[in-house]
Structure 1
Amino acid sequence: MPVALVTDSTAYLSDEVIARHGVDVVPLSVVLGDEVLAEGVEATPAVVVEALQRRVKITTSRPNPEAFAAAYRAAAERGADAVVSLHLSAELSGTYAAALMAAEAAPLPVRVVDTRMIGMAQGYCVLAAAGAAQAGGTLDEVVAAAEKRAGATTAFFYVDTLEYLRRGGRIGAARAMLGSALAVKPLLHLADGRIQPLEKVRTSSRAIARLEEIAIQQAGAAEVDLAVHHLAAEEGARMLAERLRERIPGLREMYVGEVGAVIGAHVGPGLLAVVVSPV
Protein backbone atom coordinates (compact mmCIF):
# COMPACT_ATOMS: atom_id res chain seq x y z
CA MET A 1 0.00 0.00 0.00
CA PRO A 2 1.29 3.51 -0.75
CA VAL A 3 0.15 4.52 2.76
CA ALA A 4 1.49 2.22 5.48
CA LEU A 5 -0.12 1.87 8.91
CA VAL A 6 1.43 1.78 12.37
CA THR A 7 -0.40 1.45 15.67
CA ASP A 8 0.42 0.43 19.23
CA SER A 9 -0.37 -2.68 21.21
CA THR A 10 -3.40 -1.22 22.99
CA ALA A 11 -5.53 -1.49 19.83
CA TYR A 12 -5.81 -5.22 20.65
CA LEU A 13 -6.20 -6.34 17.05
CA SER A 14 -5.74 -10.07 16.47
CA ASP A 15 -2.58 -11.39 14.87
CA GLU A 16 -4.64 -12.50 11.88
CA VAL A 17 -6.13 -9.03 11.36
CA ILE A 18 -2.73 -7.36 11.76
CA ALA A 19 -1.21 -9.67 9.14
CA ARG A 20 -4.13 -9.30 6.74
CA HIS A 21 -3.95 -5.52 6.77
CA GLY A 22 -0.18 -5.21 7.01
CA VAL A 23 -0.23 -3.11 10.19
CA ASP A 24 2.96 -2.61 12.21
CA VAL A 25 2.33 -2.75 15.97
CA VAL A 26 4.66 -1.07 18.47
CA PRO A 27 4.21 -2.47 22.00
CA LEU A 28 3.82 -0.51 25.20
CA SER A 29 5.50 -1.90 28.31
CA VAL A 30 4.31 -3.16 31.66
CA VAL A 31 6.68 -2.74 34.59
CA LEU A 32 6.32 -5.39 37.32
CA GLY A 33 8.67 -4.51 40.13
CA ASP A 34 12.05 -4.29 38.39
CA GLU A 35 10.96 -6.16 35.27
CA VAL A 36 10.04 -4.33 32.06
CA LEU A 37 7.85 -6.53 29.88
CA ALA A 38 6.55 -5.85 26.37
CA GLU A 39 2.77 -6.03 26.06
CA GLY A 40 1.63 -9.01 24.04
CA VAL A 41 5.03 -10.70 24.33
CA GLU A 42 6.11 -11.27 27.96
CA ALA A 43 3.29 -9.21 29.48
CA THR A 44 0.06 -11.18 29.17
CA PRO A 45 -3.30 -10.55 30.85
CA ALA A 46 -2.77 -13.58 33.10
CA VAL A 47 0.60 -12.25 34.30
CA VAL A 48 -0.99 -8.92 35.19
CA VAL A 49 -3.97 -10.46 36.99
CA GLU A 50 -1.66 -12.61 39.11
CA ALA A 51 0.52 -9.60 39.94
CA LEU A 52 -2.48 -7.47 40.91
CA GLN A 53 -3.77 -10.22 43.17
CA ARG A 54 -0.34 -10.42 44.84
CA ARG A 55 -0.33 -6.60 45.13
CA VAL A 56 2.91 -6.33 43.15
CA LYS A 57 3.57 -2.75 42.09
CA ILE A 58 2.57 -2.36 38.43
CA THR A 59 3.11 0.59 36.13
CA THR A 60 2.90 0.99 32.38
CA SER A 61 5.22 2.80 30.02
CA ARG A 62 5.00 4.29 26.54
CA PRO A 63 7.23 2.94 23.76
CA ASN A 64 10.60 4.58 23.20
CA PRO A 65 10.45 6.99 20.23
CA GLU A 66 13.13 4.87 18.56
CA ALA A 67 10.66 1.98 18.35
CA PHE A 68 8.38 4.17 16.25
CA ALA A 69 11.32 5.48 14.25
CA ALA A 70 12.26 1.89 13.37
CA ALA A 71 8.69 1.15 12.24
CA TYR A 72 8.64 4.25 10.03
CA ARG A 73 12.02 3.35 8.49
CA ALA A 74 10.77 -0.19 7.81
CA ALA A 75 7.72 1.20 6.01
CA ALA A 76 9.95 3.37 3.82
CA GLU A 77 12.19 0.39 3.03
CA ARG A 78 9.12 -1.58 1.92
CA GLY A 79 8.30 1.17 -0.55
CA ALA A 80 5.55 3.08 1.23
CA ASP A 81 5.07 6.71 0.25
CA ALA A 82 3.71 7.77 3.67
CA VAL A 83 2.67 6.43 7.08
CA VAL A 84 -0.42 6.95 9.20
CA SER A 85 0.39 6.19 12.85
CA LEU A 86 -2.70 5.70 15.04
CA HIS A 87 -2.53 5.63 18.82
CA LEU A 88 -4.37 5.50 22.09
CA SER A 89 -5.61 8.70 23.66
CA ALA A 90 -2.91 11.21 24.50
CA GLU A 91 -4.91 11.91 27.68
CA LEU A 92 -4.06 8.41 28.89
CA SER A 93 -0.50 7.85 27.69
CA GLY A 94 2.61 9.49 26.28
CA THR A 95 2.55 7.09 23.32
CA TYR A 96 1.18 9.72 20.93
CA ALA A 97 3.92 12.15 21.96
CA ALA A 98 6.59 9.49 21.40
CA ALA A 99 5.24 8.81 17.90
CA LEU A 100 5.26 12.55 17.12
CA MET A 101 8.92 12.78 18.14
CA ALA A 102 9.84 9.90 15.86
CA ALA A 103 7.82 11.31 12.96
CA GLU A 104 9.92 14.48 12.89
CA ALA A 105 12.98 12.57 11.68
CA ALA A 106 11.24 9.92 9.56
CA PRO A 107 12.44 9.38 5.97
CA LEU A 108 8.87 9.76 4.62
CA PRO A 109 5.78 11.77 5.58
CA VAL A 110 4.16 10.49 8.80
CA ARG A 111 0.80 11.64 10.12
CA VAL A 112 0.32 10.79 13.77
CA VAL A 113 -3.32 10.46 14.86
CA ASP A 114 -4.55 10.68 18.43
CA THR A 115 -7.64 8.46 18.18
CA ARG A 116 -8.70 9.57 21.70
CA MET A 117 -9.68 5.92 22.13
CA ILE A 118 -8.19 2.69 23.50
CA GLY A 119 -8.81 -1.03 23.01
CA MET A 120 -11.00 -2.01 20.08
CA ALA A 121 -12.36 1.55 20.01
CA GLN A 122 -8.86 2.36 18.77
CA GLY A 123 -8.73 -0.86 16.77
CA TYR A 124 -11.79 0.12 14.71
CA CYS A 125 -10.03 3.38 13.78
CA VAL A 126 -7.07 1.35 12.53
CA LEU A 127 -9.38 -0.90 10.51
CA ALA A 128 -11.09 2.12 8.94
CA ALA A 129 -7.69 3.51 7.97
CA ALA A 130 -6.67 0.12 6.57
CA GLY A 131 -9.78 -0.03 4.40
CA ALA A 132 -9.04 3.40 2.98
CA ALA A 133 -5.37 2.58 2.39
CA GLN A 134 -6.15 -0.71 0.66
CA ALA A 135 -8.59 1.13 -1.61
CA GLY A 136 -5.71 3.33 -2.74
CA GLY A 137 -6.60 6.33 -0.60
CA THR A 138 -4.28 9.30 -0.23
CA LEU A 139 -2.61 10.20 3.05
CA ASP A 140 -5.38 12.72 3.80
CA GLU A 141 -8.11 10.21 2.91
CA VAL A 142 -6.67 7.53 5.16
CA VAL A 143 -6.42 9.96 8.08
CA ALA A 144 -9.97 11.20 7.43
CA ALA A 145 -11.34 7.64 7.46
CA ALA A 146 -9.73 6.96 10.83
CA GLU A 147 -10.90 10.25 12.33
CA LYS A 148 -14.46 9.74 11.08
CA ARG A 149 -14.62 6.30 12.69
CA ALA A 150 -13.14 7.66 15.92
CA GLY A 151 -15.74 10.41 16.05
CA ALA A 152 -18.60 7.91 15.83
CA THR A 153 -17.23 5.23 18.17
CA THR A 154 -18.16 5.01 21.85
CA ALA A 155 -16.85 2.86 24.68
CA PHE A 156 -18.52 2.02 27.98
CA PHE A 157 -17.20 -0.14 30.77
CA TYR A 158 -17.85 -1.63 34.15
CA VAL A 159 -15.16 -2.21 36.76
CA ASP A 160 -15.49 -4.08 40.03
CA THR A 161 -13.58 -1.33 41.82
CA LEU A 162 -12.03 2.06 41.06
CA GLU A 163 -9.00 1.15 43.13
CA TYR A 164 -6.79 0.07 40.23
CA LEU A 165 -7.62 3.19 38.21
CA ARG A 166 -6.85 5.28 41.27
CA ARG A 167 -3.47 3.60 41.74
CA GLY A 168 -2.55 4.21 38.11
CA GLY A 169 -3.61 7.85 38.10
CA ARG A 170 -6.01 7.30 35.19
CA ILE A 171 -9.23 7.96 37.04
CA GLY A 172 -9.74 11.61 36.03
CA ALA A 173 -13.18 12.97 36.91
CA ALA A 174 -14.26 9.52 38.11
CA ARG A 175 -12.38 10.39 41.31
CA ALA A 176 -15.65 11.95 42.50
CA MET A 177 -17.03 8.42 42.84
CA LEU A 178 -14.33 7.34 45.27
CA GLY A 179 -16.16 8.58 48.35
CA SER A 180 -18.85 5.98 47.86
CA ALA A 181 -16.77 3.49 45.88
CA LEU A 182 -17.41 0.70 48.36
CA ALA A 183 -21.16 1.12 48.01
CA VAL A 184 -21.44 1.35 44.23
CA LYS A 185 -20.42 -0.46 41.07
CA PRO A 186 -19.19 2.23 38.69
CA LEU A 187 -20.01 2.53 35.01
CA LEU A 188 -17.49 4.61 33.11
CA HIS A 189 -16.98 5.76 29.54
CA LEU A 190 -14.45 7.40 27.28
CA ALA A 191 -15.24 11.07 26.71
CA ASP A 192 -12.84 13.59 25.17
CA GLY A 193 -10.13 10.97 25.40
CA ARG A 194 -10.50 10.60 29.17
CA ILE A 195 -12.04 8.03 31.48
CA GLN A 196 -15.15 9.70 32.84
CA PRO A 197 -17.89 8.61 35.25
CA LEU A 198 -21.19 7.68 33.67
CA GLU A 199 -23.46 6.16 36.31
CA LYS A 200 -23.40 4.63 39.79
CA VAL A 201 -25.19 1.30 40.18
CA ARG A 202 -25.68 -0.58 43.44
CA THR A 203 -24.85 -4.15 42.41
CA SER A 204 -22.67 -5.81 39.82
CA SER A 205 -25.62 -7.58 38.18
CA ARG A 206 -27.50 -4.32 37.79
CA ALA A 207 -24.38 -2.61 36.48
CA ILE A 208 -23.85 -5.25 33.79
CA ALA A 209 -27.53 -5.13 32.83
CA ARG A 210 -27.27 -1.35 32.56
CA LEU A 211 -24.13 -1.69 30.43
CA GLU A 212 -26.12 -3.89 28.06
CA GLU A 213 -28.94 -1.35 27.81
CA ILE A 214 -26.54 1.53 27.17
CA ALA A 215 -24.89 -0.39 24.32
CA ILE A 216 -28.27 -1.20 22.75
CA GLN A 217 -29.39 2.42 22.98
CA GLN A 218 -26.11 3.62 21.51
CA ALA A 219 -26.34 1.22 18.56
CA GLY A 220 -29.97 1.99 17.77
CA ALA A 221 -30.96 0.77 14.32
CA ALA A 222 -27.63 1.69 12.71
CA GLU A 223 -25.22 -0.81 11.18
CA VAL A 224 -22.48 -1.25 13.78
CA ASP A 225 -19.47 -3.28 14.72
CA LEU A 226 -19.32 -4.26 18.37
CA ALA A 227 -16.55 -5.36 20.71
CA VAL A 228 -16.92 -6.88 24.17
CA HIS A 229 -13.77 -6.73 26.27
CA HIS A 230 -13.08 -8.34 29.62
CA LEU A 231 -10.33 -9.12 32.08
CA ALA A 232 -10.55 -12.47 33.84
CA ALA A 233 -14.32 -12.46 33.22
CA GLU A 234 -14.64 -14.69 30.15
CA GLU A 235 -18.02 -16.18 31.03
CA GLY A 236 -19.57 -12.79 31.77
CA ALA A 237 -18.24 -11.41 28.48
CA ARG A 238 -19.60 -14.39 26.55
CA MET A 239 -23.05 -14.03 28.05
CA LEU A 240 -23.11 -10.28 27.47
CA ALA A 241 -22.04 -10.75 23.86
CA GLU A 242 -24.77 -13.33 23.26
CA ARG A 243 -27.46 -10.99 24.57
CA LEU A 244 -26.16 -8.08 22.49
CA ARG A 245 -26.02 -10.28 19.40
CA GLU A 246 -29.70 -11.08 19.87
CA ARG A 247 -30.82 -7.53 20.62
CA ILE A 248 -28.90 -5.29 18.18
CA PRO A 249 -30.54 -5.51 14.75
CA GLY A 250 -27.80 -3.72 12.82
CA LEU A 251 -24.90 -5.77 14.17
CA ARG A 252 -22.33 -6.45 11.45
CA GLU A 253 -19.30 -7.95 13.19
CA MET A 254 -18.64 -8.73 16.84
CA TYR A 255 -15.30 -9.15 18.57
CA VAL A 256 -15.09 -10.73 22.02
CA GLY A 257 -11.77 -10.87 23.79
CA GLU A 258 -9.66 -10.16 26.84
CA VAL A 259 -7.92 -6.82 27.11
CA GLY A 260 -4.15 -6.82 27.12
CA ALA A 261 -1.75 -6.24 29.96
CA VAL A 262 -1.64 -2.43 29.75
CA ILE A 263 -5.37 -1.85 30.16
CA GLY A 264 -5.53 -4.77 32.57
CA ALA A 265 -2.97 -3.16 34.86
CA HIS A 266 -5.23 -0.12 35.26
CA VAL A 267 -8.71 -1.67 35.51
CA GLY A 268 -8.20 -4.92 37.37
CA PRO A 269 -10.01 -8.28 37.13
CA GLY A 270 -13.74 -8.21 36.48
CA LEU A 271 -13.70 -5.57 33.76
CA LEU A 272 -16.49 -5.74 31.20
CA ALA A 273 -16.51 -3.20 28.36
CA VAL A 274 -18.55 -2.64 25.23
CA VAL A 275 -17.38 -0.69 22.18
CA VAL A 276 -20.03 0.45 19.70
CA SER A 277 -18.64 1.56 16.34
CA PRO A 278 -21.03 2.59 13.53
CA VAL A 279 -19.81 1.40 10.15
Structure 2
Amino acid sequence: MIKILSDSTCDLSKELVQKYDLGIIPLYVRLGDEEYLDGVNISPEELYKWSDEHGETPKTAAASVEDISKYLDPDSSDEYIIFTISSSMSASFNNVRLAAEDLEMSDRVYVIDSANLSTGIGLLVLYAAEMAKAGKSAKEIVQEIENTKAKVCASFVIDTLVYLHRGGRCSGVAALLGTALKLHPRIAVADGAMHPEKKYRGPSKRFVLDYVKDMEAELKNARPERVFITHSGCDREIVEAVRDYLSGLGVFDEILETRAGGVVSSHCGPGTLGVLFIAK
Protein backbone atom coordinates (compact mmCIF):
# COMPACT_ATOMS: atom_id res chain seq x y z
CA MET A 1 0.00 0.00 0.00
CA ILE A 2 1.20 3.52 -0.80
CA LYS A 3 0.64 6.14 1.88
CA ILE A 4 0.77 9.85 1.02
CA LEU A 5 1.85 12.24 3.75
CA SER A 6 2.85 15.89 3.99
CA ASP A 7 4.03 18.27 6.63
CA SER A 8 1.36 20.71 7.80
CA THR A 9 2.54 23.56 5.58
CA CYS A 10 0.55 22.06 2.67
CA ASP A 11 -2.45 23.95 4.14
CA LEU A 12 -5.02 21.39 3.02
CA SER A 13 -8.41 21.45 4.71
CA LYS A 14 -9.55 18.65 7.00
CA GLU A 15 -12.13 17.72 4.37
CA LEU A 16 -9.46 17.25 1.69
CA VAL A 17 -7.19 15.35 4.08
CA GLN A 18 -10.04 12.96 4.82
CA LYS A 19 -11.20 12.67 1.21
CA TYR A 20 -7.75 11.73 -0.06
CA ASP A 21 -6.74 9.69 3.03
CA LEU A 22 -3.64 11.77 3.71
CA GLY A 23 -1.31 11.87 6.68
CA ILE A 24 -0.33 15.29 8.03
CA ILE A 25 2.82 15.84 10.13
CA PRO A 26 2.45 19.08 12.11
CA LEU A 27 5.24 21.60 12.46
CA TYR A 28 5.76 23.50 15.69
CA VAL A 29 4.69 27.06 16.40
CA ARG A 30 6.25 28.76 19.42
CA LEU A 31 4.69 31.76 21.15
CA GLY A 32 7.35 32.83 23.61
CA ASP A 33 7.85 29.88 25.97
CA GLU A 34 4.69 28.09 24.82
CA GLU A 35 4.86 25.47 22.06
CA TYR A 36 1.95 24.38 19.86
CA LEU A 37 1.31 22.05 16.93
CA ASP A 38 0.39 23.72 13.65
CA GLY A 39 -3.21 22.98 12.74
CA VAL A 40 -3.79 20.97 15.93
CA ASN A 41 -4.02 23.20 18.99
CA ILE A 42 -3.38 26.73 17.73
CA SER A 43 -5.34 28.90 15.28
CA PRO A 44 -4.08 31.71 13.03
CA GLU A 45 -6.32 34.16 14.91
CA GLU A 46 -4.54 33.26 18.16
CA LEU A 47 -1.19 33.79 16.42
CA TYR A 48 -2.21 37.24 15.19
CA LYS A 49 -3.39 38.23 18.65
CA TRP A 50 -0.13 37.13 20.26
CA SER A 51 1.97 38.77 17.53
CA ASP A 52 0.13 42.09 17.91
CA GLU A 53 0.44 42.01 21.68
CA HIS A 54 4.16 41.20 21.66
CA GLY A 55 5.25 42.96 18.48
CA GLU A 56 7.06 39.93 17.13
CA THR A 57 6.49 36.98 14.81
CA PRO A 58 5.92 33.53 16.33
CA LYS A 59 8.81 31.10 15.89
CA THR A 60 8.26 27.97 13.83
CA ALA A 61 10.16 24.69 13.77
CA ALA A 62 10.11 21.44 11.82
CA ALA A 63 8.80 18.22 13.30
CA SER A 64 11.64 16.32 14.94
CA VAL A 65 13.05 13.05 13.66
CA GLU A 66 11.37 11.32 16.60
CA ASP A 67 8.01 12.95 15.78
CA ILE A 68 8.20 11.87 12.15
CA SER A 69 9.17 8.30 13.05
CA LYS A 70 5.76 7.84 14.66
CA TYR A 71 4.16 8.13 11.20
CA LEU A 72 6.27 5.29 9.76
CA ASP A 73 5.74 1.59 10.40
CA PRO A 74 8.94 -0.42 9.92
CA ASP A 75 7.03 -3.69 10.40
CA SER A 76 4.67 -3.11 7.48
CA SER A 77 5.28 -3.42 3.77
CA ASP A 78 3.78 0.00 3.07
CA GLU A 79 5.56 2.52 0.90
CA TYR A 80 5.49 6.18 1.90
CA ILE A 81 5.62 9.33 -0.20
CA ILE A 82 6.18 12.32 2.06
CA PHE A 83 6.05 15.94 0.94
CA THR A 84 7.76 18.78 2.77
CA ILE A 85 7.96 22.55 2.54
CA SER A 86 10.92 23.79 0.49
CA SER A 87 14.18 22.58 2.04
CA SER A 88 15.50 26.14 1.79
CA MET A 89 12.83 27.26 4.27
CA SER A 90 12.83 24.48 6.86
CA ALA A 91 14.62 21.40 8.21
CA SER A 92 11.47 19.38 7.52
CA PHE A 93 12.87 17.64 4.41
CA ASN A 94 16.11 16.65 6.12
CA ASN A 95 14.34 15.42 9.26
CA VAL A 96 12.02 13.16 7.27
CA ARG A 97 15.01 11.73 5.43
CA LEU A 98 16.84 11.11 8.72
CA ALA A 99 13.77 9.43 10.23
CA ALA A 100 13.61 7.01 7.30
CA GLU A 101 17.32 6.26 7.66
CA ASP A 102 17.04 5.68 11.41
CA LEU A 103 14.25 3.14 10.85
CA GLU A 104 16.16 1.55 7.94
CA MET A 105 13.24 2.38 5.64
CA SER A 106 14.98 4.55 3.04
CA ASP A 107 14.20 1.98 0.34
CA ARG A 108 10.45 2.55 0.73
CA VAL A 109 10.17 6.10 2.06
CA TYR A 110 10.29 8.66 -0.74
CA VAL A 111 10.86 12.19 0.52
CA ILE A 112 9.88 14.98 -1.85
CA ASP A 113 11.24 18.47 -1.43
CA SER A 114 8.28 20.38 -2.83
CA ALA A 115 10.40 23.51 -3.43
CA ASN A 116 7.20 25.29 -2.46
CA LEU A 117 4.87 26.20 0.38
CA SER A 118 1.17 26.22 1.29
CA THR A 119 -1.15 24.78 -1.34
CA GLY A 120 1.72 24.92 -3.83
CA ILE A 121 2.59 21.74 -1.93
CA GLY A 122 -1.07 20.76 -1.64
CA LEU A 123 -1.50 20.64 -5.42
CA LEU A 124 1.30 18.08 -5.65
CA VAL A 125 -0.03 16.09 -2.70
CA LEU A 126 -3.49 15.70 -4.25
CA TYR A 127 -1.98 14.79 -7.62
CA ALA A 128 0.11 12.07 -5.95
CA ALA A 129 -2.94 10.74 -4.09
CA GLU A 130 -4.90 10.54 -7.35
CA MET A 131 -2.07 8.62 -9.03
CA ALA A 132 -1.84 6.21 -6.10
CA LYS A 133 -5.59 5.57 -6.33
CA ALA A 134 -5.18 4.93 -10.08
CA GLY A 135 -2.68 2.17 -9.34
CA LYS A 136 0.59 3.89 -10.18
CA SER A 137 3.68 2.59 -8.39
CA ALA A 138 5.48 4.73 -5.83
CA LYS A 139 8.44 5.20 -8.18
CA GLU A 140 6.15 6.24 -11.03
CA ILE A 141 4.38 8.75 -8.78
CA VAL A 142 7.63 10.23 -7.50
CA GLN A 143 9.02 10.61 -11.01
CA GLU A 144 5.86 12.34 -12.23
CA ILE A 145 5.84 14.66 -9.22
CA GLU A 146 9.48 15.59 -9.80
CA ASN A 147 8.59 16.41 -13.41
CA THR A 148 5.63 18.52 -12.27
CA LYS A 149 7.18 20.55 -9.44
CA ALA A 150 8.46 23.32 -11.68
CA LYS A 151 4.98 23.75 -13.20
CA VAL A 152 3.38 24.73 -9.91
CA CYS A 153 2.41 28.42 -9.94
CA ALA A 154 2.33 29.69 -6.37
CA SER A 155 1.97 33.34 -5.46
CA PHE A 156 0.10 35.54 -3.04
CA VAL A 157 -0.56 39.19 -2.37
CA ILE A 158 0.05 40.72 1.05
CA ASP A 159 -2.39 43.06 2.79
CA THR A 160 -0.04 44.34 5.50
CA LEU A 161 3.76 44.49 5.64
CA VAL A 162 3.81 44.51 9.45
CA TYR A 163 4.16 40.75 9.83
CA LEU A 164 6.91 40.46 7.21
CA HIS A 165 8.78 43.18 9.07
CA ARG A 166 8.38 41.42 12.42
CA GLY A 167 9.73 38.25 10.87
CA GLY A 168 12.78 40.01 9.46
CA ARG A 169 11.69 39.73 5.82
CA CYS A 170 11.03 43.44 5.34
CA SER A 171 12.91 46.46 6.71
CA GLY A 172 11.22 48.86 9.08
CA VAL A 173 11.53 51.72 6.59
CA ALA A 174 10.01 49.63 3.79
CA ALA A 175 7.18 48.53 6.06
CA LEU A 176 6.41 52.11 7.10
CA LEU A 177 6.54 53.43 3.55
CA GLY A 178 4.50 50.53 2.24
CA THR A 179 1.85 51.07 4.89
CA ALA A 180 1.73 54.83 4.30
CA LEU A 181 1.47 54.41 0.54
CA LYS A 182 -0.91 51.45 0.90
CA LEU A 183 1.37 49.18 -1.11
CA HIS A 184 0.60 45.47 -1.29
CA PRO A 185 3.42 43.30 -2.69
CA ARG A 186 2.91 40.18 -4.74
CA ILE A 187 5.19 37.37 -3.55
CA ALA A 188 5.89 34.41 -5.82
CA VAL A 189 7.64 31.13 -5.08
CA ALA A 190 10.38 30.13 -7.52
CA ASP A 191 13.35 27.79 -7.16
CA GLY A 192 12.27 26.95 -3.63
CA ALA A 193 12.35 30.54 -2.36
CA MET A 194 10.02 33.53 -2.09
CA HIS A 195 10.61 36.47 -4.42
CA PRO A 196 8.85 39.86 -4.40
CA GLU A 197 7.32 40.85 -7.72
CA LYS A 198 5.08 43.81 -8.49
CA LYS A 199 3.22 45.96 -5.97
CA TYR A 200 -0.46 46.87 -5.92
CA ARG A 201 -2.32 49.79 -4.43
CA GLY A 202 -5.85 50.43 -3.29
CA PRO A 203 -8.43 48.83 -1.01
CA SER A 204 -8.45 45.08 -0.42
CA LYS A 205 -11.04 44.05 -2.99
CA ARG A 206 -9.41 46.12 -5.70
CA PHE A 207 -5.80 45.01 -5.23
CA VAL A 208 -6.70 41.34 -4.75
CA LEU A 209 -8.72 41.28 -7.99
CA ASP A 210 -5.98 43.18 -9.81
CA TYR A 211 -3.52 40.52 -8.67
CA VAL A 212 -5.75 37.69 -9.90
CA LYS A 213 -6.57 39.36 -13.22
CA ASP A 214 -2.85 39.85 -13.91
CA MET A 215 -2.60 36.04 -14.04
CA GLU A 216 -5.39 35.56 -16.58
CA ALA A 217 -3.13 34.32 -19.39
CA GLU A 218 -1.43 31.82 -17.06
CA LEU A 219 -4.76 30.72 -15.57
CA LYS A 220 -6.14 30.03 -19.04
CA ASN A 221 -3.12 27.80 -19.68
CA ALA A 222 -3.44 25.90 -16.39
CA ARG A 223 -4.24 22.27 -15.88
CA PRO A 224 -8.01 22.09 -15.50
CA GLU A 225 -8.27 19.73 -12.54
CA ARG A 226 -8.24 22.36 -9.80
CA VAL A 227 -7.19 25.78 -8.61
CA PHE A 228 -6.73 26.85 -5.00
CA ILE A 229 -7.80 30.08 -3.37
CA THR A 230 -5.74 30.07 -0.19
CA HIS A 231 -5.96 32.93 2.28
CA SER A 232 -4.97 33.84 5.81
CA GLY A 233 -8.30 35.36 6.75
CA CYS A 234 -9.97 37.57 4.13
CA ASP A 235 -13.40 39.16 3.95
CA ARG A 236 -15.95 36.75 2.53
CA GLU A 237 -16.87 39.25 -0.17
CA ILE A 238 -13.28 39.30 -1.47
CA VAL A 239 -12.95 35.52 -1.56
CA GLU A 240 -16.26 35.17 -3.38
CA ALA A 241 -15.26 37.83 -5.91
CA VAL A 242 -12.09 35.84 -6.66
CA ARG A 243 -14.12 32.64 -6.93
CA ASP A 244 -16.57 34.29 -9.33
CA TYR A 245 -13.72 35.54 -11.50
CA LEU A 246 -12.05 32.13 -11.64
CA SER A 247 -15.37 30.43 -12.36
CA GLY A 248 -15.99 32.88 -15.19
CA LEU A 249 -12.79 31.76 -16.93
CA GLY A 250 -14.39 28.36 -17.54
CA VAL A 251 -11.07 26.57 -17.06
CA PHE A 252 -11.19 24.63 -13.80
CA ASP A 253 -13.11 21.50 -12.83
CA GLU A 254 -13.05 22.58 -9.19
CA ILE A 255 -12.17 25.74 -7.30
CA LEU A 256 -10.97 24.88 -3.80
CA GLU A 257 -10.73 27.31 -0.90
CA THR A 258 -8.42 26.71 2.05
CA ARG A 259 -7.19 28.72 5.00
CA ALA A 260 -3.45 29.10 5.41
CA GLY A 261 -2.21 27.34 8.52
CA GLY A 262 -0.28 28.73 11.44
CA VAL A 263 3.21 28.52 9.92
CA VAL A 264 2.34 30.45 6.77
CA SER A 265 -0.09 32.85 8.48
CA SER A 266 2.39 33.84 11.17
CA HIS A 267 4.73 35.28 8.54
CA CYS A 268 2.30 36.81 6.05
CA GLY A 269 -0.35 38.14 8.44
CA PRO A 270 -4.11 38.45 7.96
CA GLY A 271 -5.64 39.50 4.64
CA THR A 272 -3.14 37.63 2.46
CA LEU A 273 -4.60 35.73 -0.49
CA GLY A 274 -3.08 33.50 -3.12
CA VAL A 275 -4.32 31.73 -6.25
CA LEU A 276 -2.33 28.57 -6.89
CA PHE A 277 -2.46 26.13 -9.80
CA ILE A 278 -0.38 23.87 -12.04
CA ALA A 279 0.56 25.01 -15.54
CA LYS A 280 0.11 22.66 -18.49
Greater helix content: 1
Alignment of 1:140-159 (within 5 A): 140-159=139-158
* Distance in 1 between residues matched to 2:173 and 2:197, nearest whole Å: 11
Instruction: Give the number of aligned pairs.
Output: 272
- Quick one: distance in 2 between partners of 1:91 and 1:60? 14
Match of 1:186 in 2: 185
CA contact (8 A) 2:185 2:198 kept: yes
- Specify the alignment match of 2:14 in structure 1: 15
Q: CA RMSD in A?
A: 2.3
Residues 225-264 of structure 1: CA distance to partner in whole angstroms, max 9, x if unpaired? 2111112214222221222211x22111111122111111
Aligned with 2:29: secondary structure?
A: strand
1:65-214 to 2 correspondences below 5 Å? 65-73=65-73, 76-80=74-78, 82-108=79-105, 109-170=108-169, 180-182=177-179, 183=181, 184-205=183-204, 206-214=206-214
Q: How far off its partner does 1:107 sit?
A: 4.0
Residues 185, 20 of structure 1: CA spacing in aligned structure 2 closer, same or farther, 3 A cutoff?
Answer: closer
Residue 192 of structure 1 deviates from its aligned partner by 1.0
Greater Cα offset, 135-144 or 174-183: 174-183
Of the structure 1 ranges 208-217 and 179-188, higher mean CA displacement relative to structure 2 is found in 179-188
- Give the Cα separation in 2 of the matches to 1:264 and 1:120: 13
Alpha-carbon shift at residue 170 of structure 1 (Å): 5.0
Contact kept? 1:229, 1:272, Cα under 8 Å: yes
> Structure 2 CA distance, aligned partners of 1:257 and 1:151?
22
Q: In structure 1, what is the Cα distance between the partners aligned to 2:127 and 2:59? A: 31
Counterpart selection for 1:241 from 230, 240, 243: 243
Shift of the alpha carbon at 1:21? 2.7
Cα offset for 1:77? 4.3
How many angstroms does 1:178 deviate by? 5.4
Amino acid at match of 1:193: G
Q: Secondary structure at the match of 2:154?
A: strand
Letter in 2 for 1:101: L
Does the C-alpha gap of structure 1 residues 152 and 176 become closer, same or farther in structure 2, counting only changes over 3 Å? farther
1:54 is paired with a residue whose SS is: helix
- Cα distance, 1:33–1:204 mapped onto 2, change above 3 Å: same
Is the 2:123–2:277 contact (alpha carbons within 8 Å) kept by the matching residues of 1? no
1:170/1:195 contact within 8 Å kept: no
Equivalents in 2 of 1:189, 1:126: separation in Å? 19
Structure 2 gap ranges (5+)? none
In the alignment, the residues of structure 1 paired with residue 98 and residue 227 of structure 2 have an alpha-carbon distance, to the nearest angstrom, of: 33
Structure 2 contact 84–92 (Cα < 8 Å) conserved: yes
- Note the C-alpha offset of 1:221: 4.3
Q: Determine if contact 2:3/2:81 at 8 Å carries over to the other structure.
A: yes
Q: Deviations over 1:95-138 (max 9, x none)?
A: 11211211212343212111111111101111111122222222
CA distance in 2, matches of 1:175, 1:254: 37
Structure 2 residue identity aligned to 1:231: S
Shift of 1:54: 2.1
Q: Which amino acid aligns with 2:243?
A: A
Separation (CA, whole Å) in 1 of partners of 2:175 and 2:244: 32
Q: Which residue of 2 aligns with 1:44?
A: 43
Task: Tell me the distance in 2 between the aligned counterparts of 1:38 and 1:14.
Answer: 16
Pair 1:25-2:24 in alignment: yes
Find the residue that maps to 2:54 and give its secondary structure. coil
Deviation per residue, 1:153-203 (Å, 9 max, x gap): 1112111233322332456xx999658433322111111111111102232
Alpha-carbon distance change, 15 to 77 in structure 1, aligned in 2, over 3 angstroms: farther
Q: Secondary structure at the match of 2:187?
A: strand
Q: Distance in 2 between matches of 1:27 and 1:229?
A: 18
Q: Is contact 1:92–1:170 with CA below 8 Å preserved after alignment?
A: no
Calculate the TM-score normalised by the size of structure 2.
0.88
Query: Share of identical aligned residues, percent?
Result: 26
- Distance verdict in 2 for CA 1:199–1:176, change over 3 Å: farther
The runs of 5 or more residues in structure 1 that have no matched partner are: none
Structure-1-length-normalised TM-score: 0.88
